[in-house]
Amino acid sequence: MADKSISKRSRRGSGAITLKDVARLAGVAPITVSRALNSPAQVSKEVHSRVQEAIERTAYVPNRMAGGLASSRSRLIAAVVPSMVFSVFNETIEALNGTLFDAGYQLMLGLTGYSEEREALLLDSVIGRRPDGIFITGIMPPGRSRSRLIASGIPIVESWDLTPTPIDMLIGFSHQKIGRAVAQFLIKKGKRSFAIVTAGDERAQRRNTAFIDTVRALGLDEVAVHNVGDIRTLRAGRAALAALITSQPSIDAIFCSSDLLALGVITEARERKIKVPAQLSVMGFGDVPFVGDMIPALTTVHINGGKIGRLAALHLMASSQGNAVQQPIVNLGFTIVERESA
Amino acid sequence: MADKSISKRSRRGSGAITLKDVARLAGVAPITVSRALNSPAQVSKEVHSRVQEAIERTAYVPNRMAGGLASSRSRLIAAVVPSMVFSVFNETIEALNGTLFDAGYQLMLGLTGYSEEREALLLDSVIGRRPDGIFITGIMPPGRSRSRLIASGIPIVESWDLTPTPIDMLIGFSHQKIGRAVAQFLIKKGKRSFAIVTAGDERAQRRNTAFIDTVRALGLDEVAVHNVGDIRTLRAGRAALAALITSQPSIDAIFCSSDLLALGVITEARERKIKVPAQLSVMGFGDVPFVGDMIPALTTVHINGGKIGRLAALHLMASSQGNAVQQPIVNLGFTIVERESA
DNA sequence: TTGAAAGCGCTAACAA
DNA sequence: TTGTTAGCGCTTTCAA
């Protein structure tokens, strides 16, 4: 009956209070403490309060790594997002995090910086944590990453786009329809000479292509495209207008791939005393919180980012508990919010 | 020599490929695979390549929960932040995440929504994950949460503020000095009638108090204070100016607790044809990426958020590896960026 | 309602 | 350089 703590081998572990310590203090078996914590209904009132007291006195905090390993449930959800800084994904992440937290889950955040290489690395690292679910911004094209994701067996929510073949679940909207709708909106406003100010990412390109095709189908002038690549700043938006106005002075409407770029275009227009929307209509994408309260208020495409986050959290949690997916594809749609800038 | 997989007890676990499977395939002991993965230098070339091949063929992804449990190193860092949506903390988080990721760590994100109650809950939940480090926005006042944090033994970085008694490490700046510096800056510009537009959080209050004291010491008019509470929107900034201008038309300078509120004040000023800065100077706080490119360009207090994140990541990783903290308190300071609005 | 035993998938410690 | 053994701290399974 040697005391375990005086074993021959030197001590391992973190030295923190464990379930065992609490159990000893409460005079019960470790498993009873586990039950008092996880399914109190299975424990008698008397034992429960004794355990509670022991937990208080020791300031015990259960080790969720150990719990996760034993139960194959980590209560961790991972989110893979391109960027955080003033991005359209912020609301989604806040909503995701809030919904998860209220249910006892935690959020692991991964940022790809719009780089596919980084995304692949990140995904492997994420899978290694064995999260109960993974939220992905965008859809996973066939390839190594997609295969690994599927092989991992972890519930996946793809988002922010549409495809008939999601891995698991999908909450999104059609970028093609947005491009078309924006073009039609602008044309209906009487605009005839269009330009696009866009970042380099693939989803933006699909909006652009649809926009261009719609304009082209009507036999209007070619759409001038200014691509800012990875520089999604307000300043890039200003520079874009400066460049466009020189090369193609006839432009009377610009569709931007983000609200921030649109703000840049509007700012530069003001600098150049170009009247928005009288001389130039400007539209953004995202409907980020404050753009509706600026002067001129931005006309833009509204995406319900919060809802994407909440739905994703709910789906992921349900799915990890073995509940079948009700609706594998949810099309949240979008709305054009008409304000002053177009 | 019964096959383990035909044990009497029914199968547990996730069913995923494990170290053992890889080891069997490569014809080595499990620990050898572990070494090939974690310290390749300890393994012969020949064995290493056999292991690599087995890993490729099985698409094995190591279970980091198990690894973390066994080694008491989770390679997880937690960040506790008030908010994500268009917040001044975004850059810090991106930098934190980037630095961590490059070193093989992952970021766990916790959002408090500026609520202390939520923060306390979150902290317990975070400690349960046994992260190798915790990044906290702000400093931890004495109390239950602080005690638990200390008891956990996890390296902590407090930030975004200054105190002589951090738990562990501190990377921040003085809010009091900012309030004073902004007041002096505005006074030097010849402004005489001041107002503050502020959110309700405690750090903002400390900037405000210092600002007010500085003004008061010079015998100038009392500073009008408009508190927007938790509504940190551009719209709230607009409403604030509307209210202030009515109650105190003489105001010629406003200090806002965030850039977004400042943008709101400027927007409302434009609506009311109040010239900024000729009639009204406006200053913000944060120097969020795009405010320098707007019209008028915002004069504001610059905080090097990215540096806070990078330093915190470095400190946390070093500290979790047992390296003593070099500099427990780092005062990053701030700069007033003079642009057009003041 | 409570407990004993076994094991989740990995790594530290010791041994060869 | 490679392997054996014994856990890390918890939960599942089976038994009482």
Q: Which nucleotide is nearest to B19 (CA to C1')?
A: C9
Distance between alpha carbon A119 and the CA centroid of its chain, in Å?
14
pLDDT at residue number A6: 36
Let me know: does A241 contact A265? Beta carbons within 8 Å. Answer: yes
Percent of chain B past pLDDT 70, that is, above it, reads 97
Same domain, B91 and B165: yes
Same domain, A16 and A111: no
Same domain, A58 and A91: no
Residues 77-136 of A with CB under 8 A from B: 83-86, 90-91, 93-94, 97-98, 101, 104, 106-111, 113, 122, 124-130
Contact B106 A83 (CB under 8 A): no
Residues 69-88 of A with CB under 8 A from B: 69, 72, 74, 76, 83-86
Let me know: does A292 contact A339? Beta carbons within 8 Å. Answer: yes
pLDDT of B281 above 60:
yes
Strand pairing report for B281-286 and B253-256: parallel
pTM: 0.92
User: Could you give the residue ranges of the DSSP H alpha helices within B253-342?
Assistant: 259-271, 305-320
Instruction: Evaluate whether residue A70 is within a structural domain.
Output: no
The tens-digit pLDDT sequence of chain A (342 residues) is: 333 333 334 557 788 899 999 999 999 999 999 999 999 999 999 999 999 999 999 999 999 999 999 999 999 999 999 988 878 899 999 999 999 999 999 999 999 988 889 999 999 999 999 999 999 999 999 999 999 999 999 999 999 999 999 999 999 999 999 999 999 999 999 999 999 999 999 999 999 999 999 999 999 999 999 999 999 999 999 999 999 999 999 999 999 999 999 999 999 999 999 999 999 999 999 999 999 999 999 999 999 999 999 999 999 999 998 887 788 999 999 999 999 999
Contact A61 B267 (CB under 8 A): no
CA dihedral sign of residues B198, B203, B208, B211: negative
Instruction: Evaluate whether residue B22 is within a structural domain.
Output: yes
Quick one: which of A213, A231, A230 has its CA closest to A222?
A213
DSSP A14-32: -----HHHHHHHHTS-HHH
Q: Which residue is nearest to nucleotide D11 (CA to C1')?
A: A70
Instruction: Evaluate whether residue A46 is within a structural domain.
Output: yes
Let me know: does B225 contact B257? Beta carbons within 8 Å. Answer: no
Q: How far is B178 from chain A (nearest CA, A)?
A: 24
Beta bridge partners of B229: B199
What is the spatial distance between Cα A150 and Cα B142, in angstroms, rounded to a whole number?
A: 47
pLDDT at residue number B11: 54
Contact B61 A152 (CB under 8 A): yes
pLDDT digits (tens, 9 = 90+) for B20-30: 999 999 999 99
Expressed as residue numbers, the domain containing A17 is 4-62
pLDDT at residue number A8: 39
Give residue B10's pLDDT band: very low, low, confident or very high (50, 70, 90): low
Q: How far is B224 from chain A (nearest CA, A)?
A: 24
Please report, as a single letter, which amino acid is at residue A213: D
What is the spatial distance between Cα A62 and Cα A67, in angstroms, rounded to a whole number?
A: 8
Please report, as a single letter, which amino acid is at residue A145: S
CATH at residue B144? 3.40.50.2300
Edge-first strand listing for the sheet containing B299-302 = B224-229, B194-199, B253-256, B281-286, B299-302, B335-337
The domain total for chain B is 3
Q: Which residue of A has its CA nearest to B236?
A: A293
A235 contacts in chain B (CB < 8 Å): 290, 293
Instruction: Evaluate whether residue A338 is within a structural domain.
Output: no
Joined together, the tokens standing for residue A63 give 């080790």
pLDDT digits (tens, 9 = 90+) for B33-92: 999 999 999 999 999 999 999 999 999 999 999 999 999 999 999 999 998 887 889 999
pLDDT at residue number B114: 86
Same domain, A105 and A223: no
pLDDT of B209 above 60:
yes
Q: Of the candidates A109, A152, A295, which has its C-beta nearest B97's C-beta?
A: A109
pLDDT at residue number B86: 78
Same domain, A17 and A91: no
Distance between alpha carbon B322 and the CA centroid of its chain, in Å?
23
Same domain, A296 and A185: yes
What count of residues does chain A have? 342
Same domain, B191 and B292: yes
Instruction: Evaluate whether residue A95 is within a structural domain.
Output: yes
The residue among B123, B231, B294 with the most chain A CBs within 10 A of its CB, best to mutate, is B294
A152 to chain B, any CB pair closer than 8 A? The answer is: yes
Whole-number average pLDDT of chain B: 93
Q: Which residue has the tokens 């909207």?
A: A173
Q: Show the beta-strand stretches assigned E in chain B.
A: 76-81, 106-111, 133-137, 156-159, 169-172, 194-199, 224-229, 253-256, 281-286, 299-302, 329-331, 335-337
Instruction: Evaluate whether residue A83 is within a structural domain.
Output: yes
Cβ neighbours of residue B180 under 8 Å, at least 6 residues apart? Answer: B210, B211, B213, B214
B288 contacts in chain A (CB < 8 Å): 86
B68 contacts in chain A (CB < 8 Å): 65
Residues 240-279 of B with CB under 8 A from A: 260, 263-264, 267, 270-271
Joined together, the tokens standing for residue A187 give 């044309």
Same domain, A249 and A188: yes
Same domain, B101 and B28: no
pLDDT of B185 above 80:
yes
pLDDT at residue number A11: 54
Quick one: which of A231, A293, A232 has its CA closest to A260?
A232
Please report, as a single letter, which amino acid is at residue B326: Q
pLDDT at residue number A9: 42
pLDDT at residue number B1: 34
Instruction: Evaluate whether residue A49 is within a structural domain.
Output: yes
Same domain, B99 and B168: yes
pLDDT at residue number B171: 97
CATH at residue A14? 1.10.260.40
Q: Which residue has the tokens 């917040």?
A: B87
Same domain, A168 and A310: yes
Same domain, A165 and A313: yes
Instruction: Evaluate whether residue B338 is within a structural domain.
Output: no
Nucleotides on strand D with an atom closer than 7 A to protein CB?
A: 1-14
